[in-house]
Amino acid sequence: MENRIALKKGLRDGIPIALGYFAVAFSLGFMAKKCSLSPIQGFIGSFFTRASAGEYGVYTLVLQDAGYLSVVAMSLITNLRYLLMSTALSQKFSKNTSLFKRILTGCCVTDEIFGISIAYPGYLNPYYTYGAFLISTPMWALGTTMGIIAGSVLPARIVSALSVALYGMFIAIIIPPSKKNKAVLIAVASSFILSYVARNSETVKKLQLSSGTVTILLTIFISALAALIKPIDNTPKNDNEENRKEQK
Annotated domain spans of the chain = 2-247
Query: 10 Å Cβ neighbour count for 155?
Result: 8
Average pLDDT of 166-180? 68
pTM value is: 0.65
Of residues 82 and 232, more confidence is placed in 82
Lowest pLDDT segment from 9-13, 60-64, 139-143, 239-243: 239-243
pLDDT score recorded for residue 83: 83
Q: Is 57:75 a contact under the CB 8 Å cutoff? A: yes
Looking at mean pLDDT, say which of 69-83, 131-145, 163-177 comes out highest: 131-145
Q: For residue 117, is pLDDT > 50?
A: yes
Looking at mean pLDDT, say which of 17-21, 34-38, 49-53, 131-135 comes out highest: 131-135
Q: For residue 213, is pLDDT > 50?
A: yes
Please tell me the distance from the alpha carbon of residue 16 to that of residue 14, in angstroms, as a whole number: 6
Question: For the chain, what is the mean pLDDT?
Answer: 81
Q: For residue 90, is pLDDT > 80?
A: yes
Of residues 137 and 83, more confidence is placed in 137
pLDDT, tens only, 37-50: 899 999 998 998 88
Confidence of residue 142 (pLDDT cuts 50, 70, 90): very high
> What percent of the chain has a predicted confidence (pLDDT) above 70?
83
pLDDT score recorded for residue 5: 93
pLDDT score recorded for residue 133: 95
Average pLDDT of 212-237? 71
Q: For residue 10, is pLDDT > 90?
A: yes
Hey, what amino acid is at 126? P
pLDDT score recorded for residue 23: 82
Please tell me the distance from the alpha carbon of residue 185 to that of residue 196, in angstroms, as a whole number: 17
Average pLDDT of 47-57? 82
pLDDT score recorded for residue 132: 94
Please tell me the distance from the alpha carbon of residue 109 to that of residue 43, in angstroms, as a whole number: 18
Confidence of residue 212 (pLDDT cuts 50, 70, 90): low
Residues 198-237 as b/e (b if ≥16 CB within 10 A, e otherwise) read beeeeebeeeebeebbbbbebbeebeeebeeeeeeeeeee
Average pLDDT of 110-135? 90
Q: For residue 28, is pLDDT > 70?
A: yes
